[in-house]
Amino acid sequence: MRLTHIAGFTVVLALVAPLAGGQVKGHLPAGITPTWSKGIQPISRESYWNAMECGKQSAARPACVFWDADLCANDEFTLAFYTPYKQVAYTVWQAVSHKQPAPTPSYAEAGRMRIIIGVKPRHAAQNPVTGLTIMRGKTTIDPSSRSLDDGGGTFYFDFAPFAPTAGITLSMAGKTKTVTCAIDRPTLAGMR
């Protein structure tokens, strides 16, 4: 806390720090190009070519590839999404960032992809990951498969829970603390 004097009054200002556990709001970086508003979905011609365009960006960390880096920023866990779109975009970006020609990633391979979410604890010894679930309305959606190792976890989901029809809440559970991340419909639509 900090005391500030304004016109003879003492005002207490609370310095806001990131939450250590609790609830956070999901958000995407501003100005992601190319634009995308259909959310995470199975690969399609449209999403494939959009991902190709994304991957051709020469930035060190293009927001269209690394949109998930601060999606649910908190003091306990980090998230990494792997989707069909990201598989195509990342493959192209890897080559382009090493000054190689843009490859043509396998459409069929991207078509076999599902949504994979990696969760790592920031403090593995104190709060190892124990689970990840999605709440849509009053329905809890468990991953179709999961593996836990080295304090972190990998969770597999189908596409339906991420449809940009209504907001969702990700619940990242650890041994001692759980963080929930509310992701509204417009944010879901921008995820790729």
Average pLDDT of span 40-50: 98
Closest by CA to 113, choosing from 186, 29, 165, 47, is: 47
DSSP-assigned beta bridge partners for residue 6: 9
120 pLDDT above the threshold of 60: yes
Percent of the chain with pLDDT over 70: 89
Closest by CA to 156, choosing from 141, 173, 140, 135, is: 141
Contact 70, 27 (CB under 8 A): yes
Closest by CA to 151, choosing from 176, 184, 174, 178, is: 174
Contact 115, 156 (CB under 8 A): yes
Kind and range of the H or E run holding 49:
helix 45-55
- Rg of the Cα trace of the chain? 19
Instruction: Write down the pLDDT at residue 19.
Output: 41
41 pLDDT above the threshold of 60: yes
Instruction: Write down the pLDDT at residue 11.
Output: 41
Going from the C-alpha of 60 to that of each of 4, 57, 83, 163, the distances in angstroms are: 41, 9, 20, 29
User: Which residues, 6+ apart, have CB-to-CB distance to 6 below 8 Å?
Assistant: none
Instruction: Write down the pLDDT at residue 58.
Output: 84
12 pLDDT above the threshold of 70: no
Average pLDDT of span 104-119: 97
Spatial distance between the Cα atoms of 112 and 123, rounded to a whole number of angstroms: 34
20 pLDDT above the threshold of 70: no
Going from the C-alpha of 77 to that of each of 36, 45, 90, 167, the distances in angstroms are: 26, 34, 23, 21
pTM assigned to the model = 0.86
Kind and range of the H or E run holding 112:
helix 107-112
